[in-house]
Amino acid sequence: MTRPVPPPQGLLINPIKNGTVIDHITSGEALNVLKIIGITGTTTESVSVATNVSSGKIGKKDIVKIENRELRKEEMDRIALIAPRVSINIIRDFKVYAKGGVERPKFLLGVVRCPNPGCITNAHEPVSSRFEVLPNGLHCMYCDWLITNDITGHMI
Protein backbone atom coordinates (compact mmCIF):
# COMPACT_ATOMS: atom_id res chain seq x y z
CA MET A 1 0.00 0.00 0.00
CA THR A 2 1.15 3.47 -0.73
CA ARG A 3 -0.08 6.54 1.06
CA PRO A 4 -2.77 8.29 -1.04
CA VAL A 5 -1.68 11.61 -2.50
CA PRO A 6 -3.83 14.39 -1.06
CA PRO A 7 -5.63 16.46 -3.68
CA PRO A 8 -3.94 19.76 -4.44
CA GLN A 9 -5.13 22.67 -2.31
CA GLY A 10 -6.26 26.06 -3.61
CA LEU A 11 -7.42 27.01 -7.05
CA LEU A 12 -7.00 24.62 -9.91
CA ILE A 13 -6.36 27.34 -12.46
CA ASN A 14 -3.04 28.99 -12.96
CA PRO A 15 -2.19 32.67 -12.56
CA ILE A 16 -2.14 34.61 -15.82
CA LYS A 17 0.70 36.77 -17.06
CA ASN A 18 -1.37 39.51 -18.73
CA GLY A 19 -5.10 40.02 -18.90
CA THR A 20 -8.11 40.33 -16.62
CA VAL A 21 -9.29 38.39 -13.59
CA ILE A 22 -12.95 38.80 -12.75
CA ASP A 23 -13.46 37.66 -9.18
CA HIS A 24 -16.45 37.38 -6.84
CA ILE A 25 -18.89 36.68 -9.66
CA THR A 26 -22.27 35.58 -8.31
CA SER A 27 -22.15 31.79 -8.25
CA GLY A 28 -23.41 30.32 -11.52
CA GLU A 29 -23.09 33.53 -13.54
CA ALA A 30 -19.59 33.00 -15.01
CA LEU A 31 -20.85 31.87 -18.40
CA ASN A 32 -23.22 34.83 -18.57
CA VAL A 33 -20.32 37.15 -17.76
CA LEU A 34 -18.42 35.67 -20.71
CA LYS A 35 -21.48 36.23 -22.91
CA ILE A 36 -21.74 39.85 -21.80
CA ILE A 37 -18.15 40.56 -22.74
CA GLY A 38 -18.55 38.82 -26.06
CA ILE A 39 -16.45 35.70 -25.43
CA THR A 40 -17.97 32.77 -27.31
CA GLY A 41 -16.79 29.48 -28.72
CA THR A 42 -15.44 31.27 -31.78
CA THR A 43 -13.29 33.88 -30.06
CA THR A 44 -9.57 33.29 -29.59
CA GLU A 45 -8.84 34.38 -26.02
CA SER A 46 -7.53 31.81 -23.51
CA VAL A 47 -10.12 31.76 -20.77
CA SER A 48 -10.21 29.91 -17.46
CA VAL A 49 -13.47 29.55 -15.61
CA ALA A 50 -13.97 28.35 -12.06
CA THR A 51 -17.49 27.93 -10.73
CA ASN A 52 -18.87 27.39 -7.24
CA VAL A 53 -15.55 28.10 -5.56
CA SER A 54 -15.67 28.77 -1.80
CA SER A 55 -15.49 32.42 -0.92
CA GLY A 56 -15.31 33.95 2.52
CA LYS A 57 -16.94 37.10 1.12
CA ILE A 58 -19.98 35.74 -0.72
CA GLY A 59 -20.15 32.01 0.18
CA LYS A 60 -19.80 30.51 -3.30
CA LYS A 61 -18.43 32.42 -6.25
CA ASP A 62 -17.29 32.08 -9.82
CA ILE A 63 -14.01 33.35 -11.23
CA VAL A 64 -13.08 34.12 -14.81
CA LYS A 65 -9.53 34.71 -16.05
CA ILE A 66 -8.99 36.04 -19.55
CA GLU A 67 -5.50 36.11 -20.96
CA ASN A 68 -4.17 39.01 -23.01
CA ARG A 69 -7.30 41.10 -22.83
CA GLU A 70 -7.95 44.07 -20.56
CA LEU A 71 -11.63 44.87 -20.11
CA ARG A 72 -12.86 48.33 -20.95
CA LYS A 73 -14.83 50.36 -18.41
CA GLU A 74 -18.17 49.92 -20.22
CA GLU A 75 -17.64 46.15 -20.35
CA MET A 76 -16.99 46.12 -16.62
CA ASP A 77 -20.13 48.12 -15.97
CA ARG A 78 -22.26 45.76 -18.04
CA ILE A 79 -21.09 42.92 -15.80
CA ALA A 80 -22.50 44.84 -12.85
CA LEU A 81 -25.99 44.21 -14.25
CA ILE A 82 -25.82 40.53 -13.28
CA ALA A 83 -22.97 40.43 -10.74
CA PRO A 84 -22.88 43.68 -8.80
CA ARG A 85 -20.20 42.56 -6.33
CA VAL A 86 -17.50 41.50 -8.75
CA SER A 87 -13.98 42.78 -8.43
CA ILE A 88 -11.92 43.15 -11.54
CA ASN A 89 -8.14 42.90 -11.59
CA ILE A 90 -6.12 43.95 -14.57
CA ILE A 91 -2.93 41.85 -14.61
CA ARG A 92 0.33 42.90 -16.22
CA ASP A 93 3.37 40.67 -15.95
CA PHE A 94 1.74 38.54 -13.22
CA LYS A 95 1.12 41.59 -11.03
CA VAL A 96 -2.15 43.36 -10.29
CA TYR A 97 -1.86 46.55 -12.29
CA ALA A 98 -5.34 47.91 -11.43
CA LYS A 99 -8.10 46.63 -9.19
CA GLY A 100 -11.63 47.81 -8.70
CA GLY A 101 -15.32 47.12 -8.38
CA VAL A 102 -17.99 47.88 -10.93
CA GLU A 103 -20.78 50.42 -11.09
CA ARG A 104 -24.22 49.71 -12.49
CA PRO A 105 -24.57 52.04 -15.48
CA LYS A 106 -27.52 54.46 -15.37
CA PHE A 107 -28.41 53.91 -19.03
CA LEU A 108 -27.76 51.19 -21.59
CA LEU A 109 -27.59 52.21 -25.23
CA GLY A 110 -27.78 49.41 -27.78
CA VAL A 111 -26.84 46.76 -25.20
CA VAL A 112 -30.18 45.02 -24.62
CA ARG A 113 -32.90 44.21 -27.13
CA CYS A 114 -36.39 45.21 -25.97
CA PRO A 115 -38.46 42.03 -25.50
CA ASN A 116 -41.65 43.86 -26.50
CA PRO A 117 -42.29 42.89 -30.14
CA GLY A 118 -44.41 46.03 -30.52
CA CYS A 119 -41.59 48.35 -29.44
CA ILE A 120 -40.47 50.83 -32.10
CA THR A 121 -36.83 49.86 -31.45
CA ASN A 122 -37.64 46.43 -32.93
CA ALA A 123 -38.98 48.01 -36.13
CA HIS A 124 -36.86 49.05 -39.07
CA GLU A 125 -35.84 52.42 -37.65
CA PRO A 126 -32.43 54.07 -37.27
CA VAL A 127 -32.33 53.91 -33.46
CA SER A 128 -30.63 51.74 -30.86
CA SER A 129 -32.46 50.39 -27.86
CA ARG A 130 -32.21 52.60 -24.79
CA PHE A 131 -32.81 51.34 -21.27
CA GLU A 132 -32.74 53.05 -17.93
CA VAL A 133 -31.23 50.89 -15.18
CA LEU A 134 -33.62 50.86 -12.20
CA PRO A 135 -33.29 48.97 -8.91
CA ASN A 136 -36.01 46.53 -10.02
CA GLY A 137 -34.90 46.02 -13.62
CA LEU A 138 -34.29 47.66 -16.96
CA HIS A 139 -36.86 50.15 -18.22
CA CYS A 140 -37.23 50.64 -22.00
CA MET A 141 -37.18 54.38 -22.56
CA TYR A 142 -39.28 54.02 -25.71
CA CYS A 143 -42.11 51.64 -24.80
CA ASP A 144 -41.84 51.53 -20.95
CA TRP A 145 -41.32 47.74 -20.91
CA LEU A 146 -39.61 46.54 -17.73
CA ILE A 147 -37.12 43.65 -17.95
CA THR A 148 -36.92 42.11 -14.50
CA ASN A 149 -35.16 38.81 -15.19
CA ASP A 150 -32.86 37.05 -17.64
CA ILE A 151 -31.09 40.27 -18.56
CA THR A 152 -28.31 38.31 -20.24
CA GLY A 153 -30.83 36.59 -22.50
CA HIS A 154 -31.87 39.97 -23.87
CA MET A 155 -28.39 41.26 -24.56
CA ILE A 156 -27.56 42.04 -28.16
| Minimum CB–partner distance for residue 142 and another protein (Å) | 3
| Minimum CB–partner distance for residue 136 and another protein (Å) | 8
Q: Rounded to 5 degrees, what are φ and ψ at 35?
A: -65, -45
Q: Which of 126, 121, 109, 111 is nearest to 145 (CA)?
A: 121
Q: Rounded to 5 degrees, what are φ and ψ at 15?
A: -60, 155
Binding footprint of another protein on the chain (CB under 8 A): 116, 118-121, 123-127, 136, 140-146, 148
**Nearer to another protein among residue 51 and residue 116 (C-beta):** 116
CA distances from 153 to 70, 82, 99, 115, 149 (A): 24, 11, 28, 10, 9
| Minimum CB–partner distance for residue 83 and another protein (Å) | 24
**Nearer to another protein among residue 2 and residue 136 (C-beta):** 136
**Nearer to another protein among residue 6 and residue 135 (C-beta):** 135
- The amino acid occupying position 127 is V
**Nearer to another protein among residue 36 and residue 111 (C-beta):** 111
